[in-house]
Amino acid sequence: MISRTAKRQTKTKSASRYSPIRGGFPRRIQNPENRENTKRKTVLITGATSGFGAAMARRFAQAGWGVIATGRRTERLRALVDELGTETITPAPFDVRDVDAINATLSSLPEAFRGIDVLINNAGLALGTAPAPETRLDDWLRMIETNVTGLVTLTHRLLPTLIERKGLIVNLSSVAATYPYPGGNVYGATKAFVRQFSLGLRSDLHGTGVRVTSIEPGLAKTEFTLVRTGGDEAASDALYKGADPLTAEDIANVVCWIASLPPHVNINRLELMPVSQSWAGFQVYHDHVPRRAMSRHEADAAALESSSVELNEWRNQVATKPDTVKTHGGSRAWLARIGLNAKARDLHDRQSG
Ligand SMILES: NC(=O)c1ccc[n+]([C@@H]2O[C@H](COP(=O)([O-])OP(=O)(O)OC[C@H]3O[C@@H](n4cnc5c(N)ncnc54)[C@H](OP(=O)(O)O)[C@@H]3O)[C@@H](O)[C@H]2O)c1
Please tell me whether residue 295 adopts helix, strand or coil conformation: coil
Mean pLDDT is lowest, of 88-92, 179-183, 266-270, 308-312, for 308-312
Average pLDDT over residues 15-36: 35
**pTM score of the predicted model:** 0.78
* pLDDT > 70 in the chain, percent: 77
Annotated catalytic, 181?
no
Q: Classify strands 118-121 and 269-272 as parallel, antiparallel or unpaired.
A: unpaired
**C-beta separation of 128 from 183 below 8 A:** yes
Instruction: Determine the pLDDT at residue 21.
Output: 34
pLDDT at 69 over 60: yes
E-strand ranges in 117-210 read: 118-121, 168-172
- Whether 336 and 345 have beta carbons less than 8 Å apart is answered as yes
Picking from 43, 196, 216, 40, the residue whose alpha carbon sits closest to that of residue 119 is 43
**6 or 111, greater pLDDT:** 111
Asked if 229 and 260 touch (Cβ cutoff 8 Å), the reply is no
Average pLDDT over residues 146-159: 98
DSSP-derived secondary structure letter, 170: E
Whether residue 297 has its Cβ less than 6 Å from ligand 1 = no
Q: What pLDDT score does 319 carry? A: 74
* pLDDT for 299: 73
Mutation test of ligand 1: which of 58, 224, 232, 272 has the most ligand atoms closer than 8 Å to its C-beta?
224
Which of the pair, 18 or 344, is modelled with greater confidence? 344
Higher pLDDT: 170 or 308? It is 170
Least confident among 186-190, 254-258, 295-299, 346-350: 346-350
Tell me the C-alpha distance between 52 and 4, whole Å: 52
Once rounded to an integer, what is the mean pLDDT over residues 292-313? 71
Question: Looking at this protein, which amino acid is placed at residue 81?
Answer: V
* pLDDT, tens digit (0-9, with 9 covering 90-100), for 111-122: 999 999 999 999
pLDDT at 308 over 60: yes
Give the alpha-carbon dihedral of 190, 74, 67, 101, to 10 degrees: 60
Helix (H) or strand (E) holding 69: strand 66-71
Residues sharing a CB contact under 8 Å with residue 232, sequence separation 6 or more, in sequence order: 226
Instruction: Label residue 331 by pLDDT band (50, 70, 90).
Output: low
CB 52 within 8 A of CB 121: no
Is the Cβ atom of 213 under 6 angstroms away from ligand 1? no
127 has a pLDDT exceeding 60? yes
User: Which pLDDT score, from 0 to 100, does residue 8 have?
Assistant: 45
Please name the helix (run of DSSP H) or strand (run of DSSP E) that holds residue 137, with its range, or none. Answer: helix 137-143
Is the pLDDT at 30 greater than 70? The verdict is no
CA of 126 to the centre of ligand 1 (A): 8
- From the CB of 97, is ligand 1 less than 6 Å away? yes
Q: Which atom of ligand 1 is nearest to the CA of 220?
A: 3
Q: Tell me if 271 CB under 6 Å of ligand 1.
A: no
Q: What is the pLDDT of residue 73?
A: 98
Question: Rounded to 5 degrees, what angle do the CA atoms 333, 334, 336 make?
Answer: 65
pLDDT average, residue stretch 89-108: 98
- Find the helix or strand (DSSP H, E) in which 308 lies: helix 308-320
Single-letter amino acid code for the residue at 250: D
- Atom 43 of ligand 1, residue of closest alpha carbon: 47
Minimum-distance ligand 1 atom for the alpha carbon of 55: 16
**pLDDT over 80 (residue 258):** yes
What is the atom index within ligand 1 of the atom nearest the CA of 48?
Answer: 43
Q: Does any ligand 1 atom lie closer than 6 A to the CB of residue 69?
A: no
From CA 17, how far away is CA 28, in angstroms rounded?
15
Cβ(50) to ligand 1 under 6 A?
yes
Say what the pLDDT of residue 281 is: 85
Q: E strand or H helix at 201, and its extent? A: helix 185-204
Ligand 1 geometric centre to CA of 333 (Å): 58
Please tell me the residue having the least CA distance from ligand 1 atom 8.
174
The answer on pLDDT for 242 being more than 60 is yes
Domains of the chain and any CATH numbers: 35-272 (3.40.50.720), 296-352 (no CATH)
State how far the Cα of 322 lies from the Cα of 325, in Å rounded to an integer: 5
Residue 339 confidence (pLDDT): 61
CB of 190 closer than 6 angstroms to any ligand 1 atom: no
- How does the average pLDDT of the chain come out, rounded? 86
Q: Is the pLDDT of residue 91 over 90?
A: yes
Neighbours of 239 (CB within 10 A): 17
Active-site position among 179, 181, 187, 285 = 187
Q: What is the pLDDT of residues 279-290, one digit of tens each?
A: 998 999 998 888
Percent of the residues in the chain that have a pLDDT greater than 90, as a whole number: 70
Nearest Cα residue to atom 20 of ligand 1: 224
DSSP letter string, 191-252: HHHHHHHHHHHHHHTTTTT-EEEEEEE-SEESSHHHHHTTS-HHHHHHHHTTT--EEHHHHH
From 221, 275, 273, select the one nearest 248 (Cα to Cα).
221
